[in-house]
Amino acid sequence: DADVTQTPRNRITKTGKRIMLECSQTKGHDRMYWYRQDPGLGLRLIYYSFDVKDINKGEISDGYSVSRQAQAKFSLSLESAIPNQTALYFCATSDGGLAGVSEQFFGPGTRLTVL
């Protein structure tokens, strides 16, 4: 079984709808992240969480919210989806490591299309 799973894998929705993307991990990591990737671009950080009680905005948090329901679960919500939120969304985890940085492990991604 995959260590980091995301649901759904693909979603098509309409403008104005509320959407939730879910991420679960079995790696036992404290740190979880949500990124989006647009064609030809790198990953941009939306939100990150270092433990259940810690939530931080990334560089592009507007229009998104998150919930860390448990150490293993981190969900991303689009309160009112708009077409420019069409992208590939990745969840990732890490254990922090030395100086707070270490390898990140990614889920398979959720492809979201907003019409």
- The pair of structure tokens assigned to 95 is 């254990």
Instruction: Give the amino acid at 90.
Output: F
Q: Is the peptide bond before 108 cis (omega within 30 degrees of 0)?
A: no
Asked whether position 104 contacts another protein by CB under 8 A, the answer is yes
Nearer residue to another protein within complex by CB, 31 or 68: 31
User: Measured between alpha carbons, how far is 40 from 24 in angstroms, rounded to an integer?
Assistant: 27
Taking the mean position of all CA atoms in its chain, how far away is CA 26?
16
**Of positions 1, 62, 70, 103, contacts another protein by CB under 8 A:** 103
For residues 102 and 84, what is the distance between their CA atoms, to the nearest angstrom?
A: 31
Binding mask 19-58 for another protein (x = CB under 8 A): ------------x-x-x----xxxxxx--x-x-----x-x
- Give min distance, CB of 69 to another protein, in A: 21
- Chain residues 80-99 in contact with another protein, contact rule CB under 8 A: 88, 90, 94, 96, 99
DSSP 8-class letter at 9 = S
Residues that bind another protein (CB under 8 A): 31, 33, 35, 40-45, 48, 50, 56, 58, 88, 90, 94, 96, 99-104, 106-109, 111
